[in-house]
């Protein structure tokens, strides 16, 4: 059953904000939605076994969201199909717009367990997980985010298998699990588009890997035939990447300080004591760059111990 597939209603190329653990939380997504919106948002990946356990409050913060961040896809990862069923059901009950299964994460301790990108080598379990997720997701569309292979490039066999699972969307990161230093291979992504045209024409294909400029989203759509493009690290370089012709580097210093202050305020309001102030520090570089002394100013800001100190320091910099 799938009665509300938001993916097929979006204009192409679809601009997707990638899931990034510890980065794309509700605060970050709300700011993107306000300043330079994406067409689709994902939660950070969240462990299905954790969500289905008595201690689920430890991971539920990853699923915190507001109405501003829509359509919003809940991303899950894990090993147990039953827990995927439960998590997908929770996602539907909690009002998400879709459920995505992570079959791409290369992190050693996760892959060692046989989860995420290791599922590329275990299609039997991958199939059970997809099936269980679909059953749990009810009316929500189910998608997979994956890579072009585990150790070696296996685009043809792996994408063929996935496209036979009747997914509403499939994100392909153009690298194998072992290739993080190499550039993403978009010609492999294009192969997936060709396969989908034959096997599952209604599946939306999202390409991912190394997109750093807004114009590349249209280029990838035209050149490789993808329906949409997902951006991860590019947003950290230019938080306005989804807005045509906008680059944070071009803004005046005061505007950058104001945006960072807004980020700090929303972080504090949203998380209170729930997330430590040090989590905020990774975002400073997004705003404090591209002007004289930016590096040393960042260094000073890194020394602050709480939101008030950080904001007072930013205020003192206003020109
Ligand atoms: C800090 C960080 C955290 C990430 N966390 C996730 C995650 O939770 N789920 C996921 O599917 N991919 C995750 N990724 C992978 C990205 O979504 C994306 O596939 C990858 O960075 C390639 O895209 P890019 O070249 O645009 O950065 C993460 C990447 C980074 C850099």
The residue nearest atom 29 of ligand 1, judged by CA position, is 20
pLDDT for the residue numbered 242:
98
Here the tokens at position 313 are: 């320091």
Compute the distance from residue 105 Cα to the ligand 1 centre, in Å: 8
DSSP 272: T
Compute the distance from residue 316 Cα to the ligand 1 centre, in Å: 35
Spell out the domains of the chain, with CATH numbers in brackets: 6-237 (3.20.20.70), 251-317 (no CATH)
Compute the distance from residue 232 Cα to the ligand 1 centre, in Å: 6
Max intra-chain CA distance, the chain: 61
pLDDT for the residue numbered 274:
84
| Adjacent-strand bridge partners of 147 | 173
The residue nearest atom 22 of ligand 1, judged by CA position, is 209
Q: Which of 15, 18, 237 to mutate to test the pocket of ligand 1 (most atoms within 8 A of CB)?
A: 18
In contact, 81 and 113? CB cutoff 8 Å:
no
In contact, 176 and 152? CB cutoff 8 Å:
yes
- Catalytic residue positions, numbered: 105
The pTM is what?
A: 0.97
* Strands (E) located in the chain: 14-17, 40-42, 46-47, 72-77, 98-103, 142-149, 169-176, 204-208, 228-231
pLDDT along the chain (319 residues), means of 10: 83 98 98 98 98 92 98 98 98 98 97 98 98 98 98 97 98 94 96 98 98 97 98 98 96 97 98 92 96 94 96 94
156 SS3 class: helix
pLDDT for the residue numbered 181:
84
- Which element (helix H / strand E) includes 222? helix 214-224
Pocket lining for ligand 1, CB < 6 angstroms:
18-21, 23, 44-45, 75, 102, 104-105, 145, 173, 208-211, 231-234
- Of all atoms in ligand 1, which is nearest to the CA of residue 235? 26
With the CA atoms of 259, 261, 266 and 271 taken in that order, what torsion angle do they form, in degrees rounded to the nearest 10?
A: 130
- Which element (helix H / strand E) includes 262? helix 253-271
CA–CA distance, 146 with 161 (Å, rounded to integer): 12
Question: What is the chain's percent helix, strand, coil content, to nearest 5?
Answer: 50, 15, 35
> Helix 253-271 vs helix 26-35: angle between axes, to the nearest 10 degrees?
140
């Amino acid at each position: 059953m799938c009665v509300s597939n938001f993916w097929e209603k979006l204009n192409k190329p679809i601009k997707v904000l990638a899931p990034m653990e510890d980065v794309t939380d509700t605060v970050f997504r709300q700011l993107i939605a306000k300043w330079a919106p994406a067409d689709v948002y994902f939660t950070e990946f969240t462990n299905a076994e954790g969500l289905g356990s008595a201690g689920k409050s430890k991971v539920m913060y990853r699923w915190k969201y507001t109405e501003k961040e829509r359509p919003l896809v809940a991303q899950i990862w894990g090993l147990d199909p039953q827990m995927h069923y439960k998590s997908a059901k929770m996602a539907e009950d909690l009002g998400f717009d879709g459920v995505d299964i992570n079959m791409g994460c290369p992190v050693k301790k996760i892959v060692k367990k046989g989860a995420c990108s290791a599922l590329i080598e275990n299609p039997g379990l991958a199939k059970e997980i997809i099936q269980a997720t679909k059953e749990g997701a009810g009316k929500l569309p189910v998608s997979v985010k994956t890579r072009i292979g585990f150790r070696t490039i296996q685009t043809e066999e792996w994408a063929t298998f996935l496209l036979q699972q009747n997914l509403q969307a499939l994100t392909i990161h153009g690298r194998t699990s072992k290739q993080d230093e190499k550039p993403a291979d978009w010609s492999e992504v294009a192969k997936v588009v060709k396969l989908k045209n034959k096997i599952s024409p209604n599946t939306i294909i999202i390409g991912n890997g190394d997109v750093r400029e807004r114009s590349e989203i249209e280029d990838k759509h035209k050149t490789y035939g993808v329906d949409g493009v997902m951006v991860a690290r590019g947003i950290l370089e230019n938080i306005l990447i989804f807005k045509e012709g906008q680059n944070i580097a071009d803004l005046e210093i005061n505007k950058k300080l104001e945006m960072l202050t807004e980020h700090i305020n929303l972080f504090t309001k949203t998380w209170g004591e729930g997330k430590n102030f040090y989590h905020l520090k990774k975002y400073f570089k997004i705003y404090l760059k591209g002007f004289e002394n930016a590096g040393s100013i960042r260094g000073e800001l890194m020394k602050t111990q709480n939101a008030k100190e950080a904001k007072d320091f930013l205020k003192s910099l206003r020109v």
